[in-house]
Structure 1
Amino acid sequence: MLRVNRAGGAPGAKTPIHTNPRPEAFYVLGGKLGQRTPHGVSYAEAGTTMVGHGVDMPMEVFSAGTTALDELAIFMVDANRPFSSPASLD
């Protein structure tokens, strides 16, 4: 099943560190998206996409620009696992 979330926030807003059981992708409608993983930090500007990292990768997604982030997060959902789980970047 495909799940699409519209999300965003003021500059500096961030998600809790978490994992997802399936791949995800982002489309940035406005602002700048940042994603922190054990592999480093990646960014996507308004009008661009970002392919998320692999299954069960710890991540933190955040509003990295000077204006509010507005984005679509697109997920494959696994009916046999929680949508997301708390994680650590340590």
Structure 2
Amino acid sequence: MSGGLDTTLHAPARLQIAALLARVEEAEFATIRDIVEVSDSVLSKHLAALGEEGYVRLRKAAQDGRQRTWASLTRAGRKAFAAHMAALQELVASAQAAAVAE
């Protein structure tokens, strides 16, 4: 983490994934893929990176006769996302203050 920003969450797709998962208990892989508008392989890589940091938990379960993957934010993931969002808000406020001062 640098200046309050979390480099794991800073990638746009990962930030979108975290924002989506912060609003729900869990989401199915295909739903996340469709909302974030990435390929299966790209989403898998992002979820793996978030999982390595302990931010995301993956659960596999059969549904409609097919194996599905569900993702959820862990407690650490929710905390990291909240801290990252606070750092972004602080950055925006600082930039706005500087723009008004000019």
TM > 0.5 fold call: no
More helix by share: 2
Identify the structure with bigger relative contact order (alpha carbons < 8 Å, sequence gap 6+): 1
More strand by share: 1
TM-score (norm 1): 0.33
TM-score (norm 2): 0.31
Q: Which of structures 1 and 2 has the bigger CA Rg?
A: 2
